[in-house]
Chain A
Amino acid sequence: MNALWLIMVCVSIVFAIFTGHLEAFTKAIFDGAKAAVEISLYLLGIVSVWMGITKILEDSGLIYRIAHLFKPLICRLFKNIPDDHPSITAITLNVLANLFGLGNAATPLGIQAMQDLDALNQDKGVITPEMMTFIVINTASIQLIPFSVIGILANYGHHNPAAVVLPVLIATTISALTALLVLAGFRKVFK
Chain B
Amino acid sequence: MIKQLEYLSLLIIPLFLLFTVLYGTVKKVRVYDSFVEGAKQGPAIILKIFPYLLTIFVAIKGFQASGAFDVLRDGFYGLFGFLDIPIEAVSMAIIKPLSGSASTALFTDIVKTTGADSMATQMSAVIMGSAETTFYVLAVYLGAVSIKKTRYLVPVCLVADFIGIVVAVVVTRWFF
Contact = CB atoms under 8 A, between A and B. Distances in A.
Interface of A: 1, 4-5, 8-9, 11-13, 15-16, 18-19, 21, 24-25, 27-29, 31-33, 35-37, 39-40, 43-44, 47-49, 51-62, 96, 100-102, 104-105, 107, 110-111, 114-115, 117-118, 121, 124-127, 131-132, 134-136, 138-141, 143-150, 152-153, 155-159, 161-168, 170-172, 174-175, 178-179, 182-183, 186-187, 190
B35 A52 contact: yes
Interface residues of chain A: helix, strand, loop or mixed (majority) = helix
Contact of B167 (A149, A152, A171, A190): A171
Interface in B56-115: 56-68, 71, 101, 104, 107-108, 111-112, 115
Given A1-B142, A40-B49, A167-B171, A12 B24 contact: no
Contact of B141 (A29, A110, A156): A110
B24 A59 contact: yes
**B20, B43, B71, B147 — most chain A CB neighbours (10 Å):** B147
A61 B66 contact: no
A156 B111 contact: yes
A22 to B, nearest CB: 9
A48 B42 contact: yes
Interface residues of B, number: 98
Contacts of B13: 102, 104-105
Interface residues of chain B: helix, strand, loop or mixed (majority) = helix
Interface in B105-127: 107-108, 111-112, 115-117, 121-122, 125-126
21 contacts: A1-B154, A5-B56, A28-B66, A40-B53, A44-B42, A44-B46, A56-B35, A60-B29, A104-B13, A132-B151, A135-B137, A136-B157, A139-B132, A140-B160, A141-B132, A145-B9, A156-B116, A170-B171, A171-B126, A174-B167, A179-B156
Contacts of A55: 34-35, 37-39
**B31, B55, B144, B149 — most chain A CB neighbours (10 Å):** B144
B62 A164 contact: no
Contacts, number: 322
B164 A175 contact: yes
B154 to A, nearest CB: 6
Given A13-B62, A56-B20, A59-B34, 7 more contacts: A1-B142, A21-B66, A44-B43, A56-B35, A101-B9, A147-B9, A153-B111
B144 A182 contact: no
Given A52-B35, A127-B147, A12 B168 contact: no
Contacts of B111: 152-153, 155-156, 158
Contacts of A53: 16-17, 20, 35, 38
A28 B122 CA distance: 30
Interface in B130-164: 130-132, 134, 137-138, 140-142, 144-157, 159-161, 163-164
A9 B64 CA distance: 11
A180 B54 CA distance: 29
B131 A141 contact: yes
B20 A62 contact: yes
